[in-house]
Chain A
Amino acid sequence: MAVVTGELIGHAPVIATAGLTKHYGSVHALTDLTVTVGDGVTGLVGANGAGKSTLIKILLGLLEPTGGHASVLGHDIEEASQDIRRLVGYMPEHDCLPPDVSASDFVVHMARMSGLGASSARERAADVLRHVGLEEERYRPMGGYSTGMKQRAKLAQALVHDPRLVFLDEPTNGLDPAARNDMLRLVQRIGSDFGIAVLVTSHLLGELEQVSDHVIVLDGGRLLRSSATGDFLKQTGNLLVEVVGTETQRDQLGEALAKAGLTCRPRGAMVAVDPPPPDLAGAGVAHDIIRDVAAELGLGLMRLQPDRGHLEDVFLDGGARV
């Protein structure tokens, strides 16, 4: 099950686990997880209870694994968890902000708890709060913040000590669509512009499609798949065709295409055409056939596009494998 993701050329992996296992009595939170994470943004996907938060807590040294090994930024989690905690930032999933303190004071305090001196803590806190987009409200007690502002404050404390890696546990949880997009864009910037490696969890696959370079999929504490986001979304070789009209026109087109030698099946309002057989596999041959067939039938061709995979497919494939 060993899979490597990320740009590992020239440096040690950001995170490497080997056979990592965590059992709470009869509950198996993580089972034999072997995975490697590199720079950039890595998405950790899974349903609630798939073991995402457990993995982060083990990597932070807050939980002891039942078995297996792991290292973060080249430090072993059991021997040097303190060194790891100096170099990483953590944004937990749940609420963790005291309501009677301002974001500004709180982030300064958290910077000092990471070992920054008083003046550099203030400077860094002001900088980071600006980056996450907390303006004047940073001087107000956090109890009165909206969920979006709380998430920003939580993110700011995770970044204030300029970590080399941040764990973001469900950063978009509870946000409205606009705030969710803002947060995702910020996550992407942390990985690219800020140069900080990111491990971001979500139970929504679509979100991670947008921002992450690599995706690790967990299901019931087991690794389902780990690879570059591009691999998940790569073209499947299928073509999707849509014509003006109803299902009647769709079926009409489908039957005509089958006669022309292409294997196809209906998918929603569209016709999905499988990769053409060898004799029709030349560049653009299939496209020409589709165009001609539609013209002969007098159907208005509305869409003709290559089909792409989705992260969701992993669960379908994985389900089939298990």
Chain B
Amino acid sequence: MSERAELGRPGIIHDLGYRRYDGRRDGTGTIALTLFTTGVRHVYGLGRSGKSKILPFLLLGMSTLPALIVVGVVVLTGLSELPVTYAGYVSQTQLLISLFAAAQAPVLFSRDLRHRSIVLYLARPLSAPVFAITRWLSLIVTILLFMSIPSVLLFAGALLAGLDVSDQTTSLLKALSLQVLLATLLAGITGLIASVSLRRGFAVVGSVMALIVLSGVVTAVQGISDAQDSEGVGVVAGLFSPWSLHNGLADAWDAGVSTFTPPDGAWTLAYVLVGLLMAAACGLGLVARFQKVGAR
């Protein structure tokens, strides 16, 4: 309609006509980096509506608050060690972390598919596999941030309270490396569920089932098998949930978590391998999903 107005007034002063763009064009790497940072920001609701910031920051606040209290207590009372280990803290805020992953994965994996804007992305330089992996990395990093902010706060508190630096650093690094594996798995599983179910409600319920309910079942099986003195069953059961993999490895690695049936010897290696395989399967699944959608 304004088109018509412009044609009617050809001498209009702001109409510069069409201008070509011959400036710089970024390579694929830079475009992927832009997609990655936009993804990280969007998960926390940054650059989106005010409403979409509420849930991620509420959950982040809830999972950080206990760490702040612990830091306060440690600094003021001068305890000789942290009342909770870094890996133990992650394990205890398991519910919040799972909820965060379940609720925010659809931001990166459902929206583009549901509104079909994925086609506009795939008609641009990034290919479907690069797009899927970049989205996955965005979600991994946001979940990792969610877990590691309390860890880093605890670490700062420990240093302020004058606890042994090398002990604390070792313990933090162990916890952080386990968090990397955990974040990769959580992002892969919730991302895959979100990219298939499309409706946010279904995606959240599906992810909650896969993370929280499954983890509860695994823990129950481990508890029973421990009580029945058949620990082998519990160790095997631990392979089936990212949380039991994380907790089992943390226990085996002496990172300050205790489980009913910690893996030992070759089982520890099996836990690591299964974790890596699960991550690879999630990555392949995401790539396959986006390639299929792109061809439609």
Instruction: Evaluate whether A113 and B117 lie within 8 angstroms (CB atoms) in the complex, with A100-B49, A133-B3, A193-B17 already known.
Output: no
Of B29-37, B84-92, B209-217, B263-271, the one touching chain A: B29-37
How far is A110 from B47 in the complex, measured between Cα atoms in Å? 15
Partner of A131, one of B4, B18, B24, B294: B18
Contact A96 B117 (CB under 8 A): yes
Of A85-93, A277-285, A304-312, the one touching chain B: A85-93
Contact A195 B34 (CB under 8 A): no
How far is A195 from B11 in the complex, measured between Cα atoms in Å? 21
Whether a CB of chain B sits under 8 angstroms from the CB of A135 is yes
B48 CB → nearest A CB, Å: 8
Q: Which of B1, B27, B31, B124 has the most CB of A within 10 A?
A: B124
Q: Which of B4, B34, B49, B295 has the most CB of A within 10 A?
A: B34
Partner of A182, one of B3, B24, B126: B3
Partner of B123, one of A85, A98, A109: A85
Contact B24 A98 (CB under 8 A): no
Contact A116 B126 (CB under 8 A): no
Contact A94 B21 (CB under 8 A): no
Q: Which A163-186 residues sit within 8 Å CB-CB of chain B?
A: 178-179, 182, 185-186
What residue of chain A has the Cβ atom nearest to residue B18's Cβ?
A194
Partner of B116, one of A88, A95, A105: A95
Contact A117 B119 (CB under 8 A): no
Instruction: Evaluate whether A60 and B123 lie within 8 angstroms (CB atoms) in the complex, with A96-B117, A115-B31 already known.
Output: yes
A160 CB → nearest B CB, Å: 9
Instruction: Evaluate whether A98 and B115 lie within 8 angstroms (CB atoms) in the complex, with A82-B125, A113-B31, A194-B18 already known.
Output: yes
Contact B4 A182 (CB under 8 A): yes
Residues in B with CB closer than 8 Å to A244 are none
Contact B18 A135 (CB under 8 A): no
Contact B35 A116 (CB under 8 A): no
Residues in B with CB closer than 8 Å to A194 are 18
Whether a CB of chain A sits under 8 angstroms from the CB of B120 is yes
Whether a CB of chain A sits under 8 angstroms from the CB of B111 is yes
- Range, interface on chain A: 35 or more
How far is A135 from B1 in the complex, measured between Cα atoms in Å? 10
Contact A62 B294 (CB under 8 A): yes
Contact B3 A185 (CB under 8 A): yes
Whether a CB of chain A sits under 8 angstroms from the CB of B9 is no
Residues in A with CB closer than 8 Å to B17 are 193
Partner of A62, one of B1, B28, B30, B122: B122
A119 CB → nearest B CB, Å: 10
What residue of chain B has the Cβ atom nearest to residue A152's Cβ?
B3
B217 CB → nearest A CB, Å: 36
Contact A113 B121 (CB under 8 A): yes
Residues in A with CB closer than 8 Å to B47 are 105
Contact B21 A124 (CB under 8 A): yes
Partner of B31, one of A95, A112, A127: A112
Q: Which of B48, B120, B125 has the most CB of A within 10 A?
A: B120
How far is A99 from B22 in the complex, measured between Cα atoms in Å? 31
Contact B30 A82 (CB under 8 A): no
Per-residue CB contact flags for chain A residues 186-214 toward chain B (1 = under 8 Å, else 0) read 10010001110000000000000000000
Residues in B with CB closer than 8 Å to A113 are 31, 34-35, 120-121, 124-126
Q: Which of A95, A96, A178, A186 has the most CB of B within 10 A?
A: A96
Contact B18 A98 (CB under 8 A): no
How far is A164 from B107 in the complex, measured between Cα atoms in Å? 33
Residues in B with CB closer than 8 Å to A105 are 47
Partner of B19, one of A90, A110, A127: A127
Per-residue CB contact flags for chain A residues 225-269 toward chain B (1 = under 8 Å, else 0) read 000000000000000000000000000000000000000000000
How far is A304 from B275 in the complex, measured between Cα atoms in Å? 83
B131 CB → nearest A CB, Å: 9
Instruction: Evaluate whether A133 and B124 lie within 8 angstroms (CB atoms) in the complex, with A96-B119, A99-B115, A113-B34 already known.
Output: no
Residues in A with CB closer than 8 Å to B124 are 85-86, 110, 113-114
What residue of chain A has the Cβ atom nearest to residue B7's Cβ?
A185
Residues in A with CB closer than 8 Å to B117 are 96-98
Q: Which A88-146 residues sit within 8 Å CB-CB of chain B?
A: 88-90, 92, 94-100, 105, 109-110, 112-117, 120, 124, 127, 131-133, 135
Whether a CB of chain B sits under 8 angstroms from the CB of A63 is yes
Per-residue CB contact flags for chain B residues 107-147 toward chain A (1 = under 8 Å, else 0) read 00001100111011111111100000000000000000000
Contact B3 A115 (CB under 8 A): no
Residues in A with CB closer than 8 Å to B126 are 113
Whether a CB of chain A sits under 8 angstroms from the CB of B167 is no
What residue of chain B has the Cβ atom nearest to residue A181's Cβ?
B4
How far is A161 from B2 in the complex, measured between Cα atoms in Å? 22
How far is A124 from B24 in the complex, measured between Cα atoms in Å? 13
Contact B1 A182 (CB under 8 A): yes
Q: Which of A98, A115, A135, A193 has the most CB of B within 10 A?
A: A115
Task: Return the 6 tightest CB-CB contacts between A and B, nearest first.
Answer: A162-B21, A90-B123, A115-B25, A115-B26, A194-B18, A133-B2
Residues of B within 8 A of A (CB): 1-4, 7, 17-28, 30-31, 34-35, 38, 47-49, 111-112, 115-117, 119-127, 294-295
Further 4 A-B residue pairs, CB within 8 A, beyond A86-B25, A96-B119, A99-B115: A92-B116, A96-B120, A120-B23, A162-B20
Q: List 29 A-B contacts (CB under 8 A).
A: A60-B122, A60-B123, A85-B124, A85-B125, A86-B124, A90-B123, A94-B116, A96-B116, A96-B119, A97-B117, A98-B115, A99-B115, A109-B38, A112-B34, A112-B38, A113-B121, A113-B125, A114-B25, A115-B27, A115-B30, A115-B31, A115-B125, A116-B25, A117-B26, A124-B21, A135-B2, A161-B21, A162-B20, A162-B22
